[in-house]
Amino acid sequence: MSFRFEIEARDGKPRAGRIVTPHGAIDTPVFMPVGTLATVKAVAQDVLEELGVEILLNNTYHLYLRPGVEMVRSLGGVQRFMAWDKPILTDSGGFQVFSLSELRKVTEDGVAFRSHLDGSSHMFTPESSIAAQIGLGADIIMAFDECTEHPASRDRARASMEMTLRWLQRSRDYFEAHKEEVPWFAKFSGQTQALFGIVQGGMYPDLRRESAERTVEIDLPGYAIGGLSVGEPRPMTYEMVDAAIPYLPENKPRYLMGVGTPEEIVHYVAQGVDMMDCVLPTRAARHGLLFTSEGKLTIKNAQFARDEGPIDPKCGCKVCGRYSRAYLRHLYASNELLAQTLNTVHNLAYYLDTMRGVRQAIILGEFATFLSGVKPPHLSVP
Amino acid sequence: MSFRFEIEARDGKPRAGRIVTPHGAIDTPVFMPVGTLATVKAVAQDVLEELGVEILLNNTYHLYLRPGVEMVRSLGGVQRFMAWDKPILTDSGGFQVFSLSELRKVTEDGVAFRSHLDGSSHMFTPESSIAAQIGLGADIIMAFDECTEHPASRDRARASMEMTLRWLQRSRDYFEAHKEEVPWFAKFSGQTQALFGIVQGGMYPDLRRESAERTVEIDLPGYAIGGLSVGEPRPMTYEMVDAAIPYLPENKPRYLMGVGTPEEIVHYVAQGVDMMDCVLPTRAARHGLLFTSEGKLTIKNAQFARDEGPIDPKCGCKVCGRYSRAYLRHLYASNELLAQTLNTVHNLAYYLDTMRGVRQAIILGEFATFLSGVKPPHLSVP
């Protein structure tokens, strides 16, 4: 078995589980830090290990442009390339093409786009996205989908959903024909990657249900919910998650893409989600926005200039154990590189601690109590 | 005793010793990494500890402007401010005023200057520099001197040297009257800082000798050689060091300021130097220039794009133990923050390993052999 998912405990909809991949195991629910270009910005791999990170997300779009898929493949795949001997998940590249590239043109075949770096012309199709992801060699890879924009009319959302379903079939067909080309196929005695499908359907609950039902007709090791957190109000996000989750298999991991705040990720677990990723903790950190048990904190504020306390007195991370708010404010105000490292380490610790608390609460059957201590997430918009 | 220096071994001119300060001991010869704004750029304090760093240099000019001396004093001094519970040395601010600030005007009283940050007007005098350094609370502080520019006429070099001697007396007088104001005076049971004097004299050996002789007439715990590595050819630097060293006390540490390449620092030890500092390893790292046992390496070069080897196969640092040149090149070419961290950690490890090798060689009486393995330093200009 290249991939398996075991549920260890349930507490209502929330599940505590374990995903096993060729590069190791992952406790779920899990928050996956984003390491765009095969690096979590400003944080070294040994520090990620100290934080207890078990899986990273890398962006196919970015690695396809730099250093290029063939380069990473020739160096043994992205785990070996970045000296991270644990699981990695790559997205399909579709979302970045939609959000970053210029002159995007979507056809049935795929998406033509220009690089945000140099304007050069490229094309992603379901086949080329999967080829790129096989070359990069992440443990979990994603079908090539169209992230429906918001707002979108019902007709537009349906058409987009239908194309995503056709693209899923093409993604799966290409993967099945080429899965043995993953760079570590021989090293891991013939193990291959796990391909996940993605539910779309815009902001229409019935389309979300239909998308889920038709996506799971293709038997895959896991399923994701995409096209959310794209500008819609948060209650609508919850509604769309609720619309899809009942139609995803109980025994497969459920991955909600691109979310959320610390409060929100707890609430998504409450809905039955197992995996999440978001740039929020890392990107916010680089802008001096820190997450704490008391809420958000903007470290540049003058009120912290003489504050000898840690970012969060309840946090056990090594940044809170050593440095004062006054020092962190000084680093940030002085534009020092160390500000970005320390702020990111704290925010990731806060997210990972939150997920560890969530998991423990599920195992103890105390998730409802845990949840009641979390602020209503629609009050905290990123 | 607030400060003492013990020589453990001699091997010709080179000495292996130990400096004891209120915040701990330092093995010499020592290379001091530069932590300008109370941070070694891009490297966290625990990583500096792992590297075996025993003393950092902080810049008074920078900390005076941001976050300000009174702020650091009120937070317990710079060691506590930056959560670095080991020795720190501050320079006098004079060199940065000369090199960074605008509209500088030097008079007998001191130096008027405008901040490089916002153009605001400031004045450093021997008294105000020492007051600032007492407020910052480093373990070792430097007399306020004039770093004579290069080239300088003999008359100009003498006049500048004479002013530095008068400023030394004023620095010492102010220090003696105010040394008990250091923020950690009570915490360390009445221990105070160590004030070092600075030899100047331009590029004139007889002035260097005279400066050394007259500087040591003031009894201080250590003496520095300043005004070198300011654009002169390297053989001239060695000549000036040789001109001063014999006139500095055997039983006091000798600090050569602002030097040098890995090869050069070994040769300065050969001349009898105990302490050095330089931005070279850290600044070069941020520009992708790495020091190795095979010489310098520019990590951005295309030749490293597929190179799976470490920066330096002979280096035992954690960067060389984990990451390939190909990955480090990718990080640097992609302008990733982690490039700056990893490059800096390696370069500092290389400098510190060099100094540990030097010290061990002195203790074993094998310094000449060690030196013979080092390239002639005048061939490697930074």
- Mean pLDDT over residues B166-179, rounded? 98
In terms of pLDDT, which residue wins out, A320 or B382? A320
Is A10's pLDDT higher than 70?
yes
Q: Are A216 and A208 in contact, with CB atoms under 8 Å apart?
A: no
Confidence of residue A375 (pLDDT cuts 50, 70, 90): confident
Of these residues, A145, A277, A312, A353, which one is catalytic? A277
Nearest CA to A359 out of A31, A48, A57 is that of A31
- Dihedral (Cα; B280, B281, B284, B288), 10-degree rounding: 170
Predicted ipTM beyond 0.90: yes
Ramachandran area for residue A301 (φ above 0: left; ψ -120 to 50: alpha; else beta): beta
Is B375's pLDDT higher than 90?
no
Q: Are A317 and B46 in contact, with CB atoms under 8 Å apart?
A: no
Query: Residue B96, Cα to own-chain centre: how many angstroms?
Result: 13
- Mean pLDDT over residues B343-366, rounded? 98
In terms of pLDDT, which residue wins out, B100 or A39? A39
Residues of A in contact with B46 (CB under 8 A): 318, 322
**Is B173 in the active site?**
no
Model pLDDT, residue B42: 98
Model pLDDT, residue A104: 87
Is A25's pLDDT higher than 70?
yes
B207-246 confidence digits (pLDDT tens): 999 999 999 999 999 999 999 999 999 999 999 999 999 9
Measured CA to CA, the distance from residue A372 to residue A376 in angstroms comes to: 9
Confidence of residue B98 (pLDDT cuts 50, 70, 90): confident
Q: Closest chain A residue to B43 measured between Cα atoms? A: A338
Tokens for A31? 């928050």
Query: What burial letters (b/e) apply to B358-377, b meaning 16+ CB within 10 Å?
Result: bbebbeeeebeebbeebeeb
Q: At what angle do helices A262-270 and A337-364 cross, to 10 degrees?
A: 30
**Is A206 in the active site?**
no
Residues B333, A66: C-beta atoms closer than 8 Å: yes
Model pLDDT, residue A72: 98
Tell me the average pLDDT of chain A.
96
Model pLDDT, residue B2: 82
Model pLDDT, residue B382: 37
Of these residues, B11, B91, B139, B145, which one is catalytic? B91
A223-242 confidence digits (pLDDT tens): 999 999 999 999 999 999 99
A11-22 confidence digits (pLDDT tens): 999 999 999 999
Model pLDDT, residue A103: 75
Largest CA distance in chain B: 62
Residues A39, B323: C-beta atoms closer than 8 Å: no
Model pLDDT, residue A221: 98
B243-266 confidence digits (pLDDT tens): 999 999 999 999 999 999 999 999
Confidence of residue A1 (pLDDT cuts 50, 70, 90): low
Confidence of residue A195 (pLDDT cuts 50, 70, 90): very high
pTM score above 0.95: yes
**B interface mutation test: which of A336, A343, A345, A346 has the most B CBs within 10 A?**
A336
Is B188's pLDDT higher than 50?
yes
Model pLDDT, residue B292: 97
B266-308 confidence digits (pLDDT tens): 999 999 999 999 999 999 999 999 999 999 999 999 999 999 9
Model pLDDT, residue B378: 53
Q: Closest chain B residue to A82 measured between Cα atoms? A: B327
Residues of B with CB under 8 A from a CB of A: 37-39, 41-46, 66-67, 71, 74-75, 81-83, 305-306, 308, 318, 322-324, 326-327, 330-331, 333-334, 336-338, 340-342
- Mean pLDDT over residues A250-257, rounded? 98
Model pLDDT, residue A381: 39
- Mean pLDDT over residues B57-68, rounded? 98
Confidence of residue A378 (pLDDT cuts 50, 70, 90): low
Measured CA to CA, the distance from residue B67 to residue A70 in angstroms comes to: 48
In a 3-state reduction of DSSP, which class is residue A275?
Answer: strand
**B interface mutation test: which of A338, A340, A341 has the most B CBs within 10 A?**
A338
Query: Residue A79, Cα to own-chain centre: how many angstroms?
Result: 17
Is B103's pLDDT higher than 80?
no
Residues B338, A71: C-beta atoms closer than 8 Å: no
Model pLDDT, residue A51: 98
Tell me the average pLDDT of chain B.
96
Is B318's pLDDT higher than 50?
yes
Is B1's pLDDT higher than 70?
no
Measured CA to CA, the distance from residue A51 to residue A318 in angstroms comes to: 9
Is B377's pLDDT higher than 70?
no
Bridge partners (DSSP) listed for residue B122: B113
Model pLDDT, residue A308: 98
Query: DSSP for B169-237?
Result: HHHHHHHHHHGGGSTTTTTTTT---EEEEEE--TT-HHHHHHHHHHHTTS--SEEEE-S-SSS--HHHH
In a 3-state reduction of DSSP, which class is residue B298?
Answer: strand
Is B376's pLDDT higher than 80?
no
> What is the DSSP secondary structure assignment for residue B30, as one 8-state letter?
E
- Mean pLDDT over residues A90-107, rounded? 89
In terms of pLDDT, which residue wins out, A14 or B377? A14
- Dihedral (Cα; B118, B122, B124, B125), 10-degree rounding: 180
Share of chain A above pLDDT 90, in %: 95
* Cis status of the peptide bond prior to B126, with omega within 30 of 0: no
Is A198's pLDDT higher than 50?
yes
Confidence of residue A360 (pLDDT cuts 50, 70, 90): very high
A143-177 confidence digits (pLDDT tens): 999 999 999 999 999 999 999 999 999 999 999 99
Share of chain A above pLDDT 70, in %: 98
- Mean pLDDT over residues A122-139, rounded? 98
Query: What burial letters (b/e) apply to A279-313, b meaning 16+ CB within 10 Å?
Result: bbbbebbbebbbbbeeeebebeeeebbebeebbbe
